[in-house]
Structure 1
Amino acid sequence: MASTTDPKEKFYRHFRDSVEVLQDQIGQLNHLSSIGGERQEATDHILAGISKLQNEVADAAEFTPAYDRRQYSDAIKGLQDKLNETLAKVAPKSRFQFRRTGTDHVDMGAPENDPRLNPGSLSRRPHSPKSAPGAARSIAEEAQDTVGDLPSKGKDYNEELAKSDPSSIRKPSFSAAQSIGISDQTGLHIILPSSASRATAAGWLRDLKDCVIDLSIPTAQGAPFPGLILKNIDRCLIVAGRVNGPIHINDVSNSTLVVIARQVRIHDCKNVNIYLHCASHPIIEDCSGMRFAPLPSCYLTEADKSTENQWDQVDDFKWLKTTQSPNWTTLSEAQRLDDEVWTKIVPGQPGVSVEEILTKVGIPPK
């Protein structure tokens, strides 16, 4: 049996998990609206993920045999076909398609197919919206909105959040949406109420700074996210709620996260505390200063208690040595926040500012 520290075995598990995550993201596209570019942003994220996976197969060529690379190539081809089929259904007028050479199989480990040596290789690189006229960028312009429950004009919750408000805590209802997207906010304390439970078909948080955001209430009563994306976040406390599938955490720094998910993928993050309940090994890549702790007891359900929590079984895919990765560690019990912080400080109190909450959870001052 191969050791879990064997690079070939680690890459196999990484590839398998990546494919599952991308399949889940493709499956969510038909739940997203073209209004406001929601579907386009998700499509761009998937395109980038497939391209990245292709490059990773090439990077792993030195320790993966040709047979394995053929299986990886077939799996990536399946992802491309699934994305094409899904986009054709949600945006039938779109001209976007992955284009391939005439061969059914391309060895992505071969030098002639490696984009680092041959940047123009079409067999390795899908046509992106930036390089192909009439590609995925046209989806937002041409497709009809398929989210029937949204009002015709849609409600701009982010514009509403940005308006001045006498209350120190914002509680956007999201009652007129099927997905939750919070972006481009600074210095806000946002708590989603139970009315947002019908909007958890998909979710993402991006471009946030100095914020406290709690998504736990709408996902606690049997309405978890199928997947969640956190991107470009700095100096924030994020209580991410429950995620039945994968959570992608990208470009997060100087923050504290509370996460319950089936899969956790973390990229390009630094100086982050993560309180975690995860049913599989968390995966980090291109990260530093990551500190892990088990989920605070106040967020645990009876179902969670009966499920193994692999919060400290972290795989660093940029550290293939048998020694401990220097990019992550665990928080000792003395370093972890106690339940009183989670139950009394984090929900907010009259006169308590966002900056005070961030300080209480250990986020350094500006």
Structure 2
Amino acid sequence: MDRLAETALIGGERSDAMDHCLAGITRLSGEVKDASGYIPPYDQRTYGEAIKALQEKLEETRKSHAPKPKFSFKSKSPSALSLSDAAELAAEKRRAVPGYLSPSPNASFVNTPSYINTPANERAHDEQDSLHEENEQPRQEGKPAGTTNTETKAQSPPADPAQESDRPSLSTTTTSTSISNQSGTHIILPSSAPNTRTPCSLSKLSGCVVDLSVPTTATAPFASITITSVSSSLVLCGSVSGPAHITGVKSSVLVLKCRQFRMHDCENVDVYLHCTSRPIIENCKGIRFAVLPKFHSDLISTSQEDPSAVPNQWNQIDDFKWLSPDKPSPNWSLLPAEDSVPDETWREIVPGGPGWSVGDILKAVGVGSTASGAANGS
């Protein structure tokens, strides 16, 4: 925490560092809870006070280093966020920086550090140059600065709706959270995200690591989550108080706690699940289920209710495409213990950091090998 002041605000590095500190404190709290059976009461009280002091220190540090914005808007439309993030993505492609999608200064998401700092004023200079050129052209034509050429605009072709829908989009507001059209990025929803008691949607993701667990365990769970068209990705959904609808997911790993689980048209997916009702799959194959990893279960039990308070029916699967009561469904199975991701991987590698690329994280959790593992299991 003492080094937080040395981290840069550019690229969301300071916010990302604070999220890692929060996850570490939560992990320590879970470890103390697990050791309560053999630690003397005095030591338990001492450790509890130390953890509380760390939490208070982190909150004080967060407030002391919080930037003071010159102005703010009450709300921001998803389209504005999409254009900003798309512009930043284009700038990174010009600089040939692979791997991460750095957020704009106004974006609501943070990513793991790219370790190549993006100049904060580069896009501002580009916008100033564009505005300067726009004003210079009317002067050359004998028109006052600020006037527009309506004839040129009239001749411009209209924007293609299909292209607009394919733009990268990261949006979190007081009414919803959505991520779409991402490839090869590591996205972490920060603990400072707006109200998470809202619906969340993920769509059109490929080769990504998406971690939504921090705010849903630190504050409140999502009201619901919808995941569509995701391939070769790791998605940590955190806690969902309502239903989870998963459609068109292939060769991926999902981690979530929810009240209702519905999966359609999915193939070769490993699901680490805590569900308080019977999960339902339909038109799926190669789906393997496992209990929620201990690391994530500890996060949820430490910050919210104890998951053991309500029966966990993670392995009571109903396959609507297999109605034979005498034979088990060939479309799903339990994930073998030898294929499960070790708890230290969830704790040390999945959060990212120096030396861990998106590809390294996906390989560590078995993305890319889920297809062969599911085939062997069936």
Mark yes or no: TM-score above 0.5.
yes
* Residue 150 of structure 1: how far off its partner (Å): 1.9
Looking at structure 2, the residues matched to 337 and 325 of structure 1 have their Cα atoms a distance apart, in angstroms, of: 24
Q: In the alignment, is residue 339 of structure 1 matched against residue 274 of structure 2?
A: no
Q: Map 1:130-145 onto structure 2 (within 5 A).
A: none
TM-score normalised according to structure 2 size: 0.54
Q: In the alignment, is residue 355 of structure 1 matched against residue 375 of structure 2?
A: no
Aligned to 1:261: 258
* Residue 308 of structure 1: how far off its partner (Å): 1.4
**Cα distance, 1:324–1:219 mapped onto 2, change above 3 Å:** same
Looking at structure 1, the residues matched to 366 and 318 of structure 2 have their Cα atoms a distance apart, in angstroms, of: 25
State the secondary structure of the residue aligned to 1:198.
Answer: coil
Runs of at least 4 residues of structure 1 off by over 6 A? none
* Residue 358 of structure 1: how far off its partner (Å): 0.8
Q: In the alignment, is residue 272 of structure 1 matched against residue 269 of structure 2?
A: yes
**Cα distance, 1:292–1:152 mapped onto 2, change above 3 Å:** closer
Q: Map 1:284-363 onto structure 2 (within 5 A).
A: 284-300=281-297, 301-302=300-301, 303-322=306-325, 323-363=327-367
Unaligned runs of 5+ residues in structure 1 are 1-147
Q: Is the 8 A contact 2:235 2:253 kept in 1?
A: yes
TM-score normalised according to structure 1 size: 0.56
**Cα distance, 1:206–1:304 mapped onto 2, change above 3 Å:** same
Q: Which amino acid aligns with 1:263?
A: Q
Identity of aligned pairs, percent?
A: 43
Aligned to 2:75: 150
Looking at structure 1, the residues matched to 205 and 100 of structure 2 have their Cα atoms a distance apart, in angstroms, of: 17
Q: Deviations over 1:284-326 (max 9, x none)?
A: 0000000000000111133213221111000000100011000
**Cα distance, 1:226–1:326 mapped onto 2, change above 3 Å:** same
Residue of structure 2 aligned with 1:239, choices 231, 236, 241 = 236
Q: Which has the higher mean CA deviation after the structures are superposed, 163-172 or 284-293?
A: 163-172
Looking at structure 2, the residues matched to 293 and 285 of structure 1 have their Cα atoms a distance apart, in angstroms, of: 18
State the secondary structure of the residue aligned to 1:254.
Answer: strand
Aligned to 1:229: 226
Residue of structure 1 aligned with 2:246, choices 240, 244, 249 = 249
Q: Which amino acid aligns with 1:185?
A: Q
Q: Is the 8 A contact 2:224 2:241 kept in 1?
A: yes
* Residue 259 of structure 1: how far off its partner (Å): 1.0
Q: Which amino acid aligns with 1:191?
A: I
* Residue 355 of structure 1: how far off its partner (Å): 1.1
Looking at structure 2, the residues matched to 321 and 341 of structure 1 have their Cα atoms a distance apart, in angstroms, of: 38
State the secondary structure of the residue aligned to 1:320.
Answer: coil
Unaligned runs of 5+ residues in structure 2 are 1-72, 110-170, 372-378
Q: Is the 8 A contact 1:149 1:177 kept in 2?
A: no
Looking at structure 2, the residues matched to 153 and 180 of structure 1 have their Cα atoms a distance apart, in angstroms, of: 10
Looking at structure 2, the residues matched to 211 and 230 of structure 1 have their Cα atoms a distance apart, in angstroms, of: 13
Looking at structure 1, the residues matched to 200 and 78 of structure 2 have their Cα atoms a distance apart, in angstroms, of: 20
Looking at structure 1, the residues matched to 85 and 292 of structure 2 have their Cα atoms a distance apart, in angstroms, of: 32
Q: Is the 8 A contact 1:149 1:176 kept in 2?
A: no
Q: Is the 8 A contact 1:188 1:211 kept in 2?
A: yes
Q: Which amino acid aligns with 2:355?
A: G
* Residue 199 of structure 1: how far off its partner (Å): 4.7
* Residue 193 of structure 1: how far off its partner (Å): 0.6
**Cα distance, 1:243–1:158 mapped onto 2, change above 3 Å:** farther
The alignment yields a C-alpha RMSD, in angstroms, of 2.5
Q: Is the 8 A contact 1:214 1:239 kept in 2?
A: yes
Aligned to 1:185: 182
Q: Which has the higher mean CA deviation after the structures are superposed, 157-166 or 349-358?
A: 157-166
Q: Deviations over 1:241-288 (max 9, x none)?
A: 111000100000000000110000000000000000000011000000
